[in-house]
Structure 1
Amino acid sequence: MVVDDPETLAQVTAVFHAYETALLENDAATLDAMFLHSDATVRYGVAEIQYGIEEIRRFRSVQSPFTRTLSRTLITTYGHDLAIASTLFRRDDFPGQVGRQMQTWIRTADGWKVAAAHVSMIEDAAGAI
Structure 2
Amino acid sequence: MTTPPVINDPAIVAEVTAVFEAYERALVDNDVDAMNVLFWDAPETVRYGIAEIQHGGEEIRAWRESCVPVPASRRRHRTVVTTFGRDYATVSTTFTSDATPLVGRQMQSWARLGAHDAPFGGWIVVAAHVSLIDAPDQPDVQAAHGKRG
Aligned to 2:61: 57
Provide the rounded CA distance (Å) in 1 between the counterparts of 2:25 and 2:14: 17
More divergent stretch after superposition (1-10 vs 56-65):
56-65
Aligned to 2:13: 9
Aligned to 2:22: 18
The structure with higher relative contact order (CA 8 Å, sep 6+) is 1
Aligned to 1:106: 111
Query: In the TM superposition, what is the alpha-carbon distance from 1:94 to its structure 2 partner?
Result: 1.1
Aligned to 2:50: 46
Provide the rounded CA distance (Å) in 1 between the counterparts of 2:126 and 2:104: 20
TM-score by length of 2: 0.82
Provide the rounded CA distance (Å) in 1 between the counterparts of 2:80 and 2:138: 19
Aligned to 2:147: none
Provide the rounded CA distance (Å) in 2 between the counterparts of 1:105 and 1:93: 28
Query: In the TM superposition, what is the alpha-carbon distance from 1:63 to its structure 2 partner?
Result: 2.5
Provide the rounded CA distance (Å) in 1 between the counterparts of 2:66 and 2:94: 24
**Structure 1 residue 81 corresponds to structure 2 residue 87:** yes
Unaligned runs of 5+ in 1: none
Select the structure of larger CA radius of gyration.
2
Maintained 8 Å contact 1:99/1:121: yes
Identity of aligned residues (%): 49
1:23-72 Cα shifts (integer Å, max 9, x gaps): 00110000000001100000000000000001100110012432200000
Aligned length: 128
TM-score by length of 1: 0.94
Unaligned runs of 5+ in 2: 142-149
**Structure 1 residue 34 corresponds to structure 2 residue 45:** no
Provide the rounded CA distance (Å) in 1 between the counterparts of 2:136 and 2:78: 17
Change in Cα spacing, 1:125 to 1:10, as seen in structure 2 (3 Å) is closer
CA RMSD in angstroms, aligned pairs only = 1.3
2:95 counterpart letter in structure 1: F
Provide the rounded CA distance (Å) in 1 between the counterparts of 2:63 and 2:56: 11
1:121 counterpart letter in structure 2: L
